[in-house]
Structures are given as C-alpha cells and as structure tokens.
Amino acid sequence: MPSLKDLKNRIESVKSTRKITKAMQMVAAAKLRRAQEAAEDSRPYTKRFNAVMAGLAASVGGSESAPKLLRGTGSDQNQLLVVMTAERGLCGGFNSNIAKLARQKAAELKAAGKTVKILTVGKKGRDALKRDLGDDFIGHVDLSEVKRVGYANAQDIAKGILTRFDAGEFDVATIFFAEFVNVVTQIPTAQQIIPASFEASEGESTGAVYDYEPGEEQILADLLPRGVATQIFSALLENGASEQGARMSAMDNATRNAGDMIDKLTIQFNRSRQAVITNELIEIISGAEAL
C-alpha cells in the first residue's frame, strides 16, 4: 500500500498534469475558431470551382485532346497515396484514423497487384506508417516550421506531385485527410486528385452551357494544376480544423479524467491518514492501559 507521502506526491503530480491539459484545451479552442473559419470559408470557392471544372470535363469527355491530368495515363498500376496528418500529437484518434484508412487502402491495392507509393505530409503520419509501409515511402513534406498553412504550401506540395506525375512515377494519386464536421466528429476521407475527378454540386449543370474562348482543352490544361493545388489546400484546411477540434476534445477528456483521479487519490489519502491516526490512538490507549 502506498505511503501518505507517495499519495500526496501523486496528487500534486496529477494536479500539475491537469493544469497542462486545461491550458492545452484553451489554446486548442482559440486555434479551432480560426481554423474552422478558414475551412468553412474555403468550401464555397472549392465547391464552385469543382462545378465549373466538372462542366468543362464533361464537355471534353475522354477525347485524346483532353489534358493528361484529366484522362490519365490509361493505367492504374502505380498508385500514389498522399497521407496528410498533423505534425504534433495529443489530438485523440485524429492522426491514427487517417493512417488507418491509408493502411487499409494500401493493403487493398497490394492485394489487387498494384504498386503502392506513399508521400507523407506531417510527421505523425510518417511515424504511424513507416513500420508497415516504410519500404513504399518516396518522400515526406515537413510543415513543422510553418506557423500557419497557406496556399503557397499547397502549391509546393502540388508542384512536387505533378512533377512526379509528368515523370511517369505513378498513374493515380489519392490524398488522405480528415473532413471537419464539428469538435467531436472528424471523418477520415480519401479523395482522388489525379486523374482529376470533379463532382458538380446539386443544382449545378455539368453540360456545356457556355462557349469558352480559348477552347475547353486549353482552359483545362491551365486550370487542372490549380485544381490539384486547390484540392490539397482545402484538405490542409480541413485537417487543420480537425486537428484542433480533436485536440480540444482530447484535452477536455484528459482534464476530466485527471479531476476524477485526484478525487479518488484524495479519498485514498484521507482513508490512509485516518488509518494511521487510528493506529496511533490504539497504541497510545494500549500503552496507557499497560501502565
């Protein structure tokens, strides 16, 4: 049974931990507001951009004149998985859920005889996958020094991916991220970005409603690389909001658990102290009776 001193030290230790988790919860809450606003503000642009691109893609169809980013290479043998996670932990199952989805996708592709290549964005995704899929890694993007993720970061990632595609290193590219719903719900999502796949929203027409000048093929050739960067940027913003929401929820749970542990340890401490006092009283009374 632990001594009174051990119990007291443990109570103080848990109290210190509770202060840390409470502070981290408050910081995450402040960052969440900004990250959520950024993610939600980007959705209308991404939605409209995808609608326009869907209309252009539908008018071009699968013709030979369509850009390579749209029609693909004609094969799906080489698959690139871009796993986007956080640079830091202590955010519940946020990182592990994305890594789990990517691991499942990789297993399915390998079972079908496909070649899998992995590009990680974020240290936690790399750490989670390197043991099982380390031989499939082809690169890593470190954003640990970036204070606030911007479109320039998405452009750099997209440029690297497009360079590999032009070099023939892969046929299909899929990004993995977490879609932000609310503080307690973040949905791990897989989205194909190469060959480009655009879905028009409800009420949007994918038919050729407008006359484009220059032609659709030329416009697509210019917009498709931007579309890849836009999708990556949107995923980074969704990840940012999801990370802070998951961290806020995890730190709130940790703070509550620390409070429960302090209550239990305090009860145990009081009982042990009472037992010590009772034993001392018994010894005193027994000694007095012996005299």
Active site residues: 91
- Sorted by sequence, the CB contacts under 8 Å of residue 17 that are 6+ apart come out as 254, 258
Cis previous bond, 195, omega within 30: yes
Cis previous bond, 67, omega within 30: no
Backbone angles phi, psi at 117, to 5 degrees: -125, 140
Q: Which residue type does 259 have?
A: G
Contact 250, 92 (CB under 8 A): yes
Backbone angles phi, psi at 190, to 5 degrees: -115, 130
Which tokens sit at 180? Answer: 């932000």
Q: Which residue type does 105 have?
A: K
Contact 11, 264 (CB under 8 A): no
Which tokens sit at 247? Answer: 């961290």
Q: How many CB atoms lie within 10 A of CB 68?
A: 14
HSE of 43, CA atoms in CB hemisphere, 13 A: 11
Which tokens sit at 31? Answer: 């960052």
- Sorted by sequence, the CB contacts under 8 Å of residue 102 that are 6+ apart come out as 81, 83, 118, 125, 129, 176, 190
Q: Select from 123, 91, 97 the least CA-distant residue to 25.
A: 91
Element (H, E) at 123: helix 123-133
C-alpha–C-alpha distance, residues 106 and 91, integer Å:
24
